[in-house]
Structure 1
Amino acid sequence: MTENKTNWKREVLAGTTTFLAMAYILAVNPGILSFGLSEALNPAEPLAAIANGTAPDPGAIFTATALASALGCLVMGLWARYPIATAPGMGLNAFFAFTVVLTLGIPWQTALTGTLVSGVLFFLLAVTGAREYIINAIPAQLKLAVGAGIGLFIAFIGLKNGGLVVGSDATLVKIGDFSEGTVLLTVFGLVVTAVFMVLGWKGGVFYGMLATLGLGLATGVIDLQLAEGFTPNLDAAGAAFTGFEDAFTVHMIAVILTMLFVDFFDTAGTLFAVAGQAGLVKDGKLPRAGRALATDSIATSAGAVLGTSTTTAYIESTAGVSVGGRTGLTAVTTGFWFLVSLVAFPVFGLVANNPSVTAPALIVVGVLMAKALGEIEWVKLEYAIPAFLIVAAMPLTYSISNGIALGLVFFPIMMAAKGRWKEVHPIAWVLMLASIGYFLFLTE
């Protein structure tokens, strides 16, 4: 702390600020992986899939989220010594639920096995020199497009869950019914959350959820009984070890590689962004980068064993850095609060089981992730075309992997057409062929 000109009070405040900025994941993650998945599997009986085990128990997802986040934060703080917090990643949880389980029909237990395998592979990449080789193989423009596309996909899920966008036989989608209380509550939550964010409140998303919850309870739109049955448990722990028999099919290999790809580049980008804001990047390099990346992979593997989707570094860590966080004590403090949250499960149960409360958070997080669009070189069509296809295909095909694959197919072709084929990394050509195979054999 002396070396970084900080003190324990400032670090604790920073860690608390980071927690408030990302605490929404404790409600949103069960909302997607359990309640959201169950409703998507059986719209007529939204909770039926949870009852029969086709979707995981929400209390188990909540527990796994809190414990995986706490573990990742503690390892990041004590070993890598960075003020960067970890938690199950937004986007990857949607990929897990709506692409892997819902679209591909893979059991959630097997999907957890895939998450575990991707975490182990990530660890191997993190502790060897392979990480730099792979990072350099994927052009920065595609990395930016993947992040932005995931943001739009998450926002679309939020608009759908909140009732602002509904299905239509004539136009596929249309605006929702604003005479419904749940839709109006979603609108209120979106406005309030957006105002908090514009005002610069560090925990704006979290406070917006609490305000929406309060209004919902006061108006009777939300029933207190929604929290019943939402209790912390470890029912999903160990489920990842039951799916190895089906974990290495062609479909699952594609799933594992997608998880690895998104997590690897998302984590690397977040680490450099947060460390750069904190002034911890030296001569363009990140000290102890191997430890920081390995921390993410350890948290992902542990989270999969506990029962949640991929754990990754959170850009909300910049909230803590902005109030002075510079050392691992910031991350340790955030981890402490995740453990404390285990006793506040009734509040998170109410939030997670009500899409009107979580939808505004998804939409605003989508906005934050879409900022990457501004960094794409749209004037260069060899970049713009594959980037646009990535961004557009994710929400429109309801699949993150479809968007990534489209971009990987078009990028080498566009670069070759421009006469820049020598600038395309050999791995990019391999990924193009693999993506073509994905569309020919893995999509329905």
Structure 2
Amino acid sequence: MSQENVRSKNSESLFEKIFKLKENKTDIKTEVLAGITTFLTMAYILFVNPNILKMAGMNSAGVLGEGAAKITTADPVVASVFMATCVAAAAGSILLGLLANLPFAVASGMGLNAFFTFTVVMGMKHTWQEALAAVFISGVVFFSICVTPLLNILVKALPKNIKLAITGGIGLFIALVGLKSGGIIVDNPDTLVGFGNVTNPAVLLTIIGIIVTAILLALNVKASMLIGIIVTTLIGIPMGITHKITNIFQMPPSMSPTFLKMDFAGLLFGGDKGILATILSIVLVVITITLVDLFDSVGTLIGTASRAGLVNEDGTVKNVNKAMMAASFGVVIGASCGTSTMTTYVESTAGIAQGGRTGLTSVTVGVLFIAAMFLTGIVGIVPAQATAPALVIVGVLMLSAVSEIDFSDFTESVPVFFIIAMMPFTYSIANGISIGLIMYPIMKIFTGRWKEVHPIVYVLAVLFIIRYLALPH
């Protein structure tokens, strides 16, 4: 046997040992393709996240508000946020893959970065350094929950119909993300949302991508998601949609402008509202960040793991504690590097639909985030109109979970409805879960069935009510 064959066999043996590929009925090729698919559907965060955080003053000019949006990506602080986003996503995804052996990716959360900018910094008048300190603390709290029995109790406390509703709700949410990014659904001041202009080349390319990907999936073509993204990207070239490759290789910029810039002293003692008010404000901020991140991650794990067969016999997600520990590490690493809260990405469902079943998918995503530090030209070539179809198709697949929900019991169907509806309508997985878990005990209490509710659900309902009443949104 040649040395090359020996090295290949040893490599396969190593991957098998770490990720248990045969046990999970998968192989290296499938996992790598799934990782590439997941990365392509979430790579937008590399460009969106710095643009949102610079509105919190994370730029050299230190300007808050619209003026910050005029700062170019050549700005050293903005470039540092880009690097922090890459590093934290790579670390979180690789850790999750190695610790939990699950195909989920971690990156800066959409919605959480908006909360960081518009609520904590602009609304509560904290500096971005103080906001990073709050994120760091929330990561420590998040980790503390993960290393105690509380997380398992929390997951088991959720009723079956609630878990199925989370799956269906995430399906609608991720489909909305895809339809919006592809221009099929647009803002409309009269009706809130409207239908995009199908004569627009960008919208037309998204529609073509959806049709191509759906047909490939219906024909059971392997790697249909990734093939759909590649084909749509290629079709976008003559249409003038696919981005041109420029400056493929660049050395990573410095991360020093944001690295370890958390201001704990300013967060704890810098306010002028009095000690009690300051403490209450900080506690509510930390609790909010922690709960939103926790339920974004738990919701994503529960909602997609069942679809992929990654659950135990009792319905719990395999290695959920380890997965959440990795996500909490990502929060701490992200805050240390200079980015907002990390979360388990719902776009991971694209890779799972592609066949990803182990942590090798997550590790592949992490490696690609590392490569993105050097290959910004290639990362930027795939247009949103090429990744949007994959998200829409994944939404179709996940919505099938709704068929298993028992709608005959109105005390169950009402909270189920709010979970499914509020995720896309409020553009937040966490809001859907929160409102659903508030409605669930209300329906049970006033129908005399309060004993059916797990005590943890009552506690969560109260915490969510406090969250909505105490903090601006």
Same fold at TM > 0.5:
yes
Relative to 1, partners in 2 of residues 1:292 and 1:169: Cα closer, same or farther, differing over 3 Å?
A: closer
Letter in 1 for 2:169: G
Deviation larger for 239-248 or 190-199: 239-248
**CA separation in 1, counterparts of 2:320 and 2:355?**
18
2:423 maps to 394
Aligned equivalent of 1:166: 186
Tell me if the contact between 1:72 and 1:85 (Cα under 8 Å) persists in the aligned partners: no
Give the whole-Å Cα distance in 2 for the aligned partners of 1:16 and 1:341. Answer: 16
Structure 1 residue aligned with 2:111, among 95, 105, 119? 95
- Match of 2:10? none
**Among residues 372, 381, 384, which one is paired with 2:410 in the alignment?**
381
Amino acid at match of 2:342: T
Of 228, 231, 238, the match for 2:259: 238
Among candidates 433, 436, 444, match of residue 465 of structure 2? 436
Partner of 2:170: 150
Query: 1:107-146 maps to which residues of 2 (within 5 A)?
Result: 115-146=135-166
Displacement after TM superposition at 1:423 (Å) = 1.6
Moved more, 331-340 or 386-395: 331-340
Q: For residues 357 and 102 of structure 1, do their structure 2 counterparts lie closer, same or farther at Cα, with a shift above 3 Å needed?
A: farther
After TM superposition, the structure 1 = structure 2 runs for residues 242-253 of structure 1, keeping only pairs within 5 Å, are 242=263, 245=267, 248=282, 250-253=284-287
Q: Is the CA contact (8 Å cut-off) linking 1:193 and 1:360 kept in structure 2?
A: yes
Partner of 1:23, secondary structure, is helix
Residue of structure 1 in register with 2:329 after alignment: 298
1:366 maps to 2:395? yes
Instruction: Provide the residue aligned with 1:23 in structure 2.
Output: 39
Q: Please say if 1:85 is aligned against 2:85.
A: no
Look up the match of 1:427. Answer: 456
Q: Kindly provide the CA deviation profile for residues 278-334 of structure 1, in whole angstroms up to 9, marking residues without a partner as x.
A: xxx589888866444433432343344443642438456656877xx77x6676566
> In 2, Cα distance between the equivalents of 1:57 and 1:366?
36
Q: What is the CA RMSD across the aligned residues, in angstroms?
A: 4.4
Q: Which residue of 2 aligns with 1:261?
A: 295
Contact 2:77/2:258 (8 A) holds in 1:
no
Q: Aligned residue for 1:208?
A: 228
The 1:14/1:159 distance shift into structure 2, 3 A limit, reads closer
Letter in 1 for 2:43: A
Q: Are the structure 2 counterparts of residues 337 and 13 from structure 1 closer, same or farther at C-alpha, using a change threshold of 3 Å? A: farther
**TM-score, normalised via structure 1 length:** 0.76
Report what 1:310 is aligned to. Answer: 342
**What amino acid sits opposite 2:154 in the alignment?**
I
TM-score (norm 2): 0.72
Give the deviation of 1:422 after TM superposition.
0.6
| SS at structure 2 position matched to 1:350 | coil
Instruction: Write the deviation string for residues 145-176 of structure 1: whole angstroms up to 9, x where unpaired.
Output: 33432332332233233221223343222211
Q: How many residues align?
A: 425
Residue ranges of structure 2 left out of the alignment (5+ in a row)? 1-15, 56-64, 269-280
217-226 or 237-246, which deviates more? 237-246
Q: Is this contact kept in 1: 2:76–2:254, CA < 8 A?
A: no
In the TM superposition, residue 97 of structure 1 has moved relative to its aligned partner by 4.2
CA distance, structure 2, for counterparts of residue 87 and residue 70 of structure 1: 9
Question: Identity of counterpart residues, as a percentage?
Answer: 31
For structure 1, the 5+ residue unaligned runs are 40-44
CA change 1:108–1:214 in 2 (3 A) is: farther
Within-5 A mapping of 1:269-284: 276=310
* Alpha-carbon contact 1:26-1:62 (below 8 Å) kept: no
Q: Do the aligned partners of 2:175 and 2:391 also contact (CA within 8 Å) in 1? A: yes
Output the amino acid matched with 2:29.
L
State the partner residue of 1:42: none
Q: Equivalents in 2 of 1:48, 1:85: separation in Å?
A: 36
Q: Name the larger-Rg structure.
A: 2
Secondary structure in 2 aligned to 1:241?
coil
Structure 2 CA distance for partners of 1:20 and 1:400, relative to 1, 3 Å: closer
Provide closer, same or farther for how the CA distance between residues 38 and 157 of structure 1 changes in structure 2, counting only shifts above 3 A. Answer: farther
